């Protein structure tokens, strides 16, 4: 099925976060393909089904890009086309 690297909640919003570490942040962003986002979406659906108290919360899929000697880049709602 898949896994989710991080799940974070703030207020009534849940973020399902993919974390990628590569030699360059551009390579990290390219490592998250549409099929990876689909896998994360399926895992998020399972998580929400198992945590019904959060079923009415808003949610999005984020990406955190890590590279040596660079600050982390946090892209919110990154699974939408053109975001990552």
CATH code at position 38: 3.40.1350.10
**80 part of a folded domain:** no
Q: Which domain holds residue 13?
A: 6-75
Q: Are 19 and 61 in contact (CB under 8 A)?
A: no
Q: Summarize pLDDT for 18-68 with one digit per residue, the tens.
A: 999 988 777 767 778 888 889 999 999 999 999 999 989 999 999 999 999
pLDDT beyond 50 at 84 = no
> For the chain, give me the number of helices (H) and strands (E)?
2, 4
Q: Summarize pLDDT for 34-43 with one digit per residue, the tens.
A: 888 899 999 9
Q: Which is more confidently placed, 73 or 27?
A: 73
Number of neighbours of residue 49 by Cβ within 10 angstroms: 9
Q: Which two three-digit tokens encode residue 80?
A: 């939408």
Q: Based on the structure, what is the number of domains in the chain?
A: 1
User: How many Å from the N-terminal Cα to the C-terminal Cα in the chain?
Assistant: 22
Number of neighbours of residue 9 by Cβ within 10 angstroms: 12
pTM score of the predicted model? 0.85
């Amino acid at each position: 099925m898949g896994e989710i690297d991080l799940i974070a909640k703030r207020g009534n919003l849940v973020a399902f976060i993919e974390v990628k570490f590569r030699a360059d942040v551009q390579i990290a962003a390219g490592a998250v393909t549409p099929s990876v986002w689909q896998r994360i979406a399926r895992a998020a659906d399972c998580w929400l089904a198992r945590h019904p108290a959060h079923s009415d919360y808003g949610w999005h899929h984020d990406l955190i890009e890590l590279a040596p000697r660079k600050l982390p880049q946090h892209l919110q709602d990154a699974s939408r086309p053109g975001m990552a």
